[in-house]
């Protein structure tokens, strides 16, 4: 069991008032009397995806045990308590990965983020920029498009639905269909919904809060409040009249993708903003691999490898030079947003090894990699059955292009393919 920490080491600085902030980089143990039972119970009941809570018992020597399940952000609890989920990499690196994954790095809009102290600071910065850019666009005029309308009316416009009219001959209002040029379209509805969600988080910065509220009020007068998700922000069509919406929707995507489920806290409904670091790290590595692989190779992410008629494995990264089903896989890689082992940095976890060996065996290949965002004191490089498994470090705190080239160089030299090494 980890050595019990004093409360002063466990709690971060207060965020004003009498708030107590629990800082969770990964795993923490704290004395039973230092955490009110109802606070631990609330954390377990509402945020069990983000934090694994083990209640005081003889098994824990009467202490609380908290484990960060791979998130970064801030969770508001009750009675002035909160949890700060710390990432394994620097905050600046978290932001740079967000830039890459959500494809906003080319806009260079978030310069100066290096002074951010937490993921919440990044969130407020993103919301502030989104609100200001929406306000600017609103002053110029929101994007309008033709939207199909169906209604019953005494006046005729567009087309009459003859079938519906015949079914209700007594009704003086005719069913009509027409196209209306309006700002109440999906492009603007996404903006309104995102600002609404951002306000639900509870914005601490007064300037950002006021800006977001003002934008919400101005848009709500003519835009319908409609629910949207992260996927609604991508693969949209942009033209001359709405090309600037591509950036707006990218910022919306960052916010919507990292919103947690709604939690009730007294009379208030709170939506936490937190970054799922395992998913972010996986998507980030995949993007950098795709950009830097030799042209003759392909990358498939989240490859579905069937086990039988009803079950399948999902493999993070599969690199191949032809159809995967035809045996053209060079290697597979599994991203691990974790330290290699809780008791030793020399070995990966046994579960990670068995998992990646099973993947490789199912695809009939002999090369598999485990990719970590943290440095490993001694690289694991062993043959397990017929599969050689290696651990590699993608340094997310250095220049990304240098890190990906170094990673690919290690892989291709290890595969005996020096011609492919960058």
User: Distance between CA 71 and CA 13 in Å, rounded?
Assistant: 20
DSSP 3: P
Domain edges within the chain: 7-85, 91-142+184-259, 145-182, 277-420
DSSP per-residue string spanning 223-268: S------GGGGSS----TTTTTHHHHHHHHHHHHHTB---EEETTE
* Angstrom distances, CA of residue 155 to CA of 135, 147, 172, 181, 320: 36, 19, 10, 18, 62
The mean pLDDT value of the chain amounts to 83
Torsion-angle region of 62 (φ positive above 0: left; ψ -120 to 50: alpha; else: beta): left
Instruction: Give me the pLDDT at residue 25, please.
Output: 82
Domain 277-420, what architecture? Alpha-Beta Complex (3.90)
What confidence tens digit (pLDDT) does each residue in 161-197 have?
777 767 777 777 777 776 778 899 999 999 999 999 9
Helix (H) or strand (E) holding 206: helix 206-220
pTM recorded for the entire structure: 0.73
Phi and psi at 347, nearest 5°, equal -135, 150
What confidence tens digit (pLDDT) does each residue in 49-59 have?
889 999 999 99
Question: Which sign does the torsion angle of CA 357, 358, 359, 362 carry?
Answer: positive
Angle at 328 (CA atoms; ends 325, 331), nearest 5 degrees: 110
* Angstrom distances, CA of residue 270 to CA of 190, 219, 257, 410: 20, 22, 16, 45
């Amino acid at each position: 069991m980890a050595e019990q920490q004093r409360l002063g080491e466990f709690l971060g600085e207060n965020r004003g008032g009498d708030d107590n902030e629990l800082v969770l980089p990964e795993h923490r143990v704290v004395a039973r009397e230092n955490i009110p039972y109802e606070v631990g119970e609330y954390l377990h009941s509402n945020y069990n995806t983000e934090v694994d809570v083990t209640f005081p018992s003889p098994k824990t020597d009467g202490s609380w045990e908290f484990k960060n399940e791979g998130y970064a952000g801030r969770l508001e609890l009750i009675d002035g308590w909160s949890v700060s989920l710390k990432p394994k990499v620097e905050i600046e690196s978290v932001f740079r990965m967000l830039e890459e994954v959500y494809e906003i790095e080319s806009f260079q809009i978030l310069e100066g983020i290096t002074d951010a102290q937490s993921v919440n600071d990044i969130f407020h910065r993103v919301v502030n920029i989104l609100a200001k850019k929406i306000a600017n666009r609103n002053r110029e005029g929101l994007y309008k498009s033709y939207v199909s309308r169906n209604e019953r009316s005494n006046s005729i416009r567009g087309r009459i639905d003859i079938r519906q009219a015949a079914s209700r001959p007594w009704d003086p209002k005719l069913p009509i269909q027409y196209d209306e040029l309006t700002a109440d379209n999906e492009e603007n509805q996404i903006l309104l919904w995102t600002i609404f969600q951002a306000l639900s988080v509870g914005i601490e910065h007064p300037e950002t809060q006021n800006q977001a509220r003002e934008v919400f009020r101005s848009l709500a007068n003519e835009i319908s409040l409609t629910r949207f998700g992260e996927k609604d922000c991508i693969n949209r069509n942009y033209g001359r009249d709405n090309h600037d919406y591509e950036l707006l929707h990218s910022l919306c995507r960052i916010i919507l993708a990292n919103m947690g489920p709604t939690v009730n806290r007294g009379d208030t409904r709170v939506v936490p903003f937190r970054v799922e670091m395992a998913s972010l790290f996986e998507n980030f590595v995949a993007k950098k691999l795709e950009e830097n692989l030799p042209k003759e190779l392909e990358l498939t992410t989240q490859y579905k490898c069937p086990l039988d008629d009803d079950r399948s494995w999902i493999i993070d990264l599969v690199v191949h030079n032809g159809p995967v089903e035809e045996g053209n896989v060079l290697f597979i890689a599994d991203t691990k947003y974790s330290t290699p082992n809780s008791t030793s940095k020399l070995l990966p976890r046994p579960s990670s090894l068995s998992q990646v060996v099973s993947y490789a065996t199912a695809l009939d290949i002999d090369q598999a990699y485990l990719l970590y965002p943290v440095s490993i004191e001694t690289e694991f490089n062993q043959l397990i059955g017929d599969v050689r498994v290696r651990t590699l470090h993608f340094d997310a705190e250095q220049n990304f292009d240098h890190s990906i080239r170094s990673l690919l160089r290690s892989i291709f030299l290890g595969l005996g393919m020096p011609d492919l090494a960058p």
